[in-house]
């Protein structure tokens, strides 16, 4: 509603980026979907657009990168966005450059993205912080990661992670000794 009101008062301040959809004889919005929807609500029927020539991969990369710059993304949204960009063949430095995030931020979220998905999503829903999740990535055994993530949001979380790290270290020391 705030964007709609701003558009009513000031109009569209930045062009939308579109690509031609020749099959349907119309255009696909690559950048500016929220502005488009707000403009519709404001009653506008014509919007300034820049027509771009992009491959399908470039379109997906651009749309994901654009969404990654939003401030209202959840941790899970960021992790999924970075994962999708990696699936498109982008390197972590390329993702950082394309999203405006630091390489450290991208690397940390990519690392968190390697955790077991179902438990990761549940932990995020319960309010897991990035620091909590980074601690879990230090565990090498996926079964330990799952167990610790499942304990998130309970009084046992700190104990579970400390116990798992301790067990992992004991196992490493024992293996080194043997």
Mean of the pLDDT values across residues 126-139?
92
| Residue 71: per-residue pLDDT | 67
* Global pTM value: 0.71
Mean of the pLDDT values across residues 26-41?
91
**Reduced DSSP (H G I as helix, E B as strand, rest coil) percent helix, strand, coil of the chain, to 5:** 60, 10, 30
35: number of Cβ within 10 Å: 22
Confidence of residue 171 (pLDDT cuts 50, 70, 90): very high
Per-residue pLDDT tens digits for 68-105: 777 677 888 889 888 988 998 889 998 888 877 899 99
93: number of Cβ within 10 Å: 11
- Distant-in-sequence, close-in-space partners of 132: CB < 8 Å, separation ≥ 6: 123, 152, 157
Report yes or no: 157 and 151 within 8 Å, Cβ to Cβ: yes
Mean of the pLDDT values across residues 55-68?
79
Mean of the pLDDT values across residues 39-51?
93
Mean pLDDT of the chain: 89
């Amino acid at each position: 509603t705030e964007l709609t009101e701003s558009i009513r008062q000031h109009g569209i301040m930045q062009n939308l980026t579109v690509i031609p959809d020749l099959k349907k004889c119309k255009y696909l919005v690559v950048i500016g979907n929220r502005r488009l929807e707000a403009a519709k609500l404001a009653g506008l029927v014509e919007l300034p657009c820049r027509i771009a020539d992009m491959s399908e991969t470039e379109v997906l990369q651009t749309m994901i990168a654009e969404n990654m710059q939003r401030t209202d993304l959840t941790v899970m949204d960021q992790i999924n966005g970075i994962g999708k960009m990696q699936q498109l063949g982008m390197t972590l430095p390329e993702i950082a450059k394309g999203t405006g995030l630091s390489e450290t931020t991208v690397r940390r979220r990519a690392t968190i993205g390697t955790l077991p998905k179902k438990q990761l999503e549940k932990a995020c829903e319960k309010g897991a912080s990035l620091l909590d999740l980074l601690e879990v990535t230090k565990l090498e055994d996926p079964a330990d990661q799952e167990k610790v993530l499942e304990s998130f949001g309970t009084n046992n979380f700190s104990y579970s992670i400390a116990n798992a790290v301790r067990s992992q270290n004991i196992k490493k020391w024992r293996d080194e000794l043997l």
